[in-house]
Amino acid sequence: MKLTTSLAIASTLAITSAASDSASSGKVLFSGVGYDFSYNPLGKIQDSKDQCSCELSDKTVWSTGPNAPFSENLAVHVRGPLKLSKFSFYTSSNFTIGTNSSDNWNRTAYFDNTGDSEVHENVTFLGMVGNDTDCLGKKLSYVGQDGQSVEKQNTAPGRYMQPTSDVEYVLFSNVSCPKSSVKGGCGVYRDDIPAFYGYGGVTKMFLFEFSMPDDVFKSNDTSEFNAPSIWLSSDSLPRVTSKYGLDNNCSCLFQGCGGFEVFSANSSVMYSSIMSLQGVADVNANNAMSALFNNEGNGYFDRPKNVSVTGGIIFDTTGNVATFISDNIKFDGELTASSVNSILAGLEQLGTTKVLEAGTQAAPTSSAKHNAGNVIAPTNGMWLFLSTVFIAAAQYLF
């Protein structure tokens, strides 16, 4: 089951009563994002038809500070029906939302397929279209313009691709990973995949130009029917598995690495939602529910079905996060702090700011580092509980 399914289940139940918080432009705000937590990175993958499993290493690593675990390298997931026209990634050494004395933003990745010739800088398009195994699902591979076929080289999605539901590709940088290893920069990952780093930095911004048309084929044989999404994950997640939430060692989502739904839609609106274990002191059924369903933003955007919109997400230096839709976004090579803050200040805030609970651990000063990956697996009881909740809710909704 995918991350987006579990979050959409919770969101759909609330969306019908949130019309007053919905707008075609605006911003959804989060604060207090980031916490200290420890984990054991993935140590070994057994990936064959006869035996398929993941083992955690004995090494203990801490991830700390503002925006953790989203301070780590992130992959950008794009799921149809969605047409992506532009994408850019920016970093800043110091930026605080609302403070114009912050540093400027520098663009380090860019994609544009709106002109006669495609612009393609520091972006690698991969999809879960490779060989399949029972516990890990399909491997990453270069993906064709249709988002579904296997390609031998990096190829951008076609201008009119993604008319159907549940077709998903993933954006990485063009910086290749070192060899798979516990001590390597990309950790342990599956054999025979094109492996690249995601987009890193504590303070960062992703911008998108996109539309979310209805599924033209009206095929509802998937739980992701007509539910497009742009979402972020640890870059380690898709390098290991396409079954994001089914294996407690192979998938890091419910172990601390987190996921962020930037723009995820039902039939009429888009929502933003954080998934992490921030504030969870003890992994049990009640706390799992809180982590899964209570970090949804307090406002919604209209789904852009018949028009392209520009929007994005900002992680500032102090743990404030904003998702936003605006007509004033530019994809320039450098954006001043004042121009970005001016855009945000001119947008209506949709709902109240979602304040995340504080973390429950404190990293030892000598061992603290930013490095989010596969953390210690939850108990089997938690996994049974989560599976039961997802299945029951899916049956109710779909």
pLDDT in tens, 335-374: 999 999 999 999 999 999 999 988 878 888 754 444 433 3
Paired with 47 in beta bridges are: 52
pLDDT of residue 371: 44
Please report, in angstroms and rounded to a whole number, the separation of the first and last CA atoms in the chain.
Answer: 14
10 versus 383: which is more confidently predicted? 10
What pLDDT, on the 0 to 100 scale, is given for residue 243?
A: 84
Mean pLDDT for all residues in the chain: 82
The answer to which of 85-94, 146-155, 178-187, 389-398 has the lowest mean pLDDT is 389-398
Give the structural domain span for 214. Answer: 3-397
Q: Cα–Cα distance between 26 and 34 in angstroms, integer? A: 24
Residue pLDDT, tens place only, 96-124: 999 999 999 999 999 998 888 889 899 99
Q: In whole angstroms, give the CA distance from residue 151 to residue 157.
A: 11
Q: What is the DSSP string of 319-374?
A: S-EEEEE-TT----SEE-HHHHHHHHHTSPB-SPPEEPPPPS----TTT-------
pLDDT in tens, 268-309: 999 999 988 887 776 554 565 566 556 889 999 999 998 999
- pLDDT band for position 78 (50/70/90)? very high
**pLDDT level of residue 19 (50, 70, 90 thresholds):** very low
Structure tokens at 125: 């398009």
d(CA 39, CA 314): 26
| pLDDT tens, position by position, 225-267 | 899 999 999 999 999 998 876 556 888 876 788 899 999 999 9
At 8 the pLDDT is 43
pLDDT at 95: 98
pLDDT at 9: 37
- pLDDT for the residue numbered 256: 80
Does residue 379 surpass a pLDDT of 60? no
Side by side, the strands of the sheet bearing 269-275 are 22-23, 296-302, 269-275, 259-265, 229-234, 74-79, 168-172, 124-133, 137-142
pLDDT beyond 90 at 176? yes
Task: Please give the pLDDT value at position 60.
Answer: 87
Helix (H, G, I), strand (E, B) or coil at 302: strand
Q: How confident is the model at residue 221 (pLDDT cuts 50, 70, 90)?
A: low
Q: What is the pLDDT of residue 170?
A: 95
Which band of pLDDT confidence, cut at 50, 70 and 90, is reported for residue 398?
very low
How many domains is the chain partitioned into structurally? 1
Residue 23 pLDDT more than 90?
A: no
Taking residues 183-196, report their average pLDDT: 95
* Cα–Cα dist 248/233, whole Å: 16
Whole-number pLDDT of residue 254: 66
Structure-token pair, residue 137: 């699902």
- Classified as helix, coil or strand, 238 is helix
Distance CA 148, CA 76 (A): 17
Q: Supply the DSSP string of 23-50, one letter for each residue.
A: ESSEEEEEES----EEE--EEEEEESSS
Percent of the chain at pLDDT exceeding 70: 79
Q: Which pLDDT value is given to residue 1? A: 37
pLDDT band, residue 196 (cuts 50/70/90): very high
Q: Which pLDDT value is given to residue 279?
A: 79
- Tell me: the pLDDT tens digits for 123-168? 999 998 998 888 888 999 999 888 888 889 998 877 656 667 878 8
* pLDDT tens column, 32-58: 999 998 888 999 998 877 778 899 999
Cβ neighbours of residue 319 closer than 8 Å, sequence gap 6 or more: 31, 32, 33, 34, 66, 67
